[in-house]
Structure 1
């Protein structure tokens, strides 16, 4: 018995999205611990910790990257589906295709822009102000996340299966 390439690709995209979510979860834990230490340092010991804002900002970049990738695969991004309430299936199919094509273009363009911006690095002054943490890895994480989002939209366009169908099956809930 052979499996369809689209199914296995969707499985890989889901796994990659889950890895991004795991990384984002770790970043949230680090962010919470950093905040607790910063608050304790400032208000309990009266000593603010130099550069704590830099660490918080870079952790937030990982949280955003993980959220984009995970949310794309699970259909968790906010969307309002007004067209399906007013138009028929044929119109919805056309508007869905147009929306996915626009989404693919925007996702890949954003991924490219983030990647090229990350390549410049310190030469362009892309580092945090206090600790001089380079922005490059965070640009790359965001770029990969947006590329994954574009791939998910592309696969869904060619397989004809919207992300929402998979997320409702996986979660056991339908809103």
Structure 2
């Protein structure tokens, strides 16, 4: 189980690295665009780059957010529930999250196939949309696998990686 967790943490780290690189790139694009607008020459295609980069940024950080327990949680009743029920709720929410992200991955993958077939591209720079959509599908699968592994670990070992140091 430790080897699988180590591999999953590396994939989650890679996903977060992709999101971080997108954040740095987007910061540069926005800076150049804002300064360019002030000088009367905005960056051509910045809207295309920002739109695609923001999608990769959000989905790149999603697996790390789940790994660290960063998702919103309402725990009003958690102190009143027995530990077994709280664990069952955590397992169910992890499985539901994994199913949602797998559905997102499937939908975006189907959209990427359509984009490739129709040769769809961004408005200004004519960048192919399918590449970014495949990236989103892959990042969604990483998030889903992380959630699925969390559910398995909670079921088998009772250990919650979100609460581990």
| TM-score tier (shorter) | 0.7 to 0.9
Among candidates 17, 39, 45, match of residue 12 of structure 2: 17
Q: Is 1:36 matched up with 2:31? A: yes
Measured after TM superposition, the shift of residue 125 of structure 1 is 6.5
* Count of paired positions: 161
Measured after TM superposition, the shift of residue 112 of structure 1 is 1.2
Distance across 1 between alignment mates of 2:134 and 2:143: 14
Q: Is 1:26 matched up with 2:21? A: yes
Q: Which runs of 5+ in 2 are unaligned?
A: none
Q: Which runs of 5+ in 1 are unaligned?
A: 1-5, 170-175
Distance across 2 between alignment mates of 1:69 and 1:96: 16
Moved over 6 A (4+): none
Measured after TM superposition, the shift of residue 98 of structure 1 is 2.2
Give the superposed CA RMSD.
1.8
Does the 8 Å contact 1:83/1:92 carry over to 2? no
Aligned to 2:90: 96
